[in-house]
Amino acid sequence: AQSVTQLDSHVSVSEGTPVLLRCNYSSSYSPSLFWYVQHPNKGLQLLLKYTSAATLVKGINGFEAEFKKSETSFHLTKPSAHMSDAAEYFCVVSPTNFGNEKLTFGTGTRLTIIP
């Protein structure tokens, strides 16, 4: 069984300040982990993925995440928030790399950027 817990349903930061979105996971396997972003009326877009290579993963738009097995965490960070980062963010776990297993999504974190 696998599950994902996003620790904050809503995060607000000022433009230009760091962003931290927290995610803890549970999986019986060595999982693949992802962060997806959802802008209003847009499809889910992949920000980054971890698949058992480097534990620090760099994604698009300046986002990165660190896989910490001992803490079962995969937190998403960005050094400096931009207004265009306002969106819903989902932490996602998959038990394999093969693509034939379902993705399990967290409940999402809504990121608000204060001008």
Partner 1 sequence: ETGVTQSPTHLIKTRGQQVTLRCSSQSGHNTVSWYQQALGQGPQFIFQYYREEENGRGNFPPRFSGLQFPNYSSELNVNALELDDSALYLCASQLIGAPGANVLTFGAGSRLTVL
107 binds partner 1 (CB under 8 A): yes
Residue 57 backbone phi and psi in degrees, to 5: -110, 130
Q: Which of 98, 9, 96, 23 is nearest to 57 (CA)?
A: 23
Q: Would you call 7 helix, strand, or coil by DSSP?
A: coil
Nearer to partner 1, 7 or 103 (CB): 103
Per-residue binding string, partner 1, 17-46, x by CB under 8 A, is ---------------x-x-x----xxxxxx
Please pick, from the candidates 25, 35, 81, 106, the single residue that binds partner 1 as defined by CB under 8 A. Answer: 106
Residues 44-103 contacting partner 1, CB under 8 A = 44-46, 49, 51, 90, 94, 96-103
Residues found near partner 1 in the complex (CB under 8 A): 4, 32, 34, 36, 41-46, 49, 51, 90, 94, 96-108
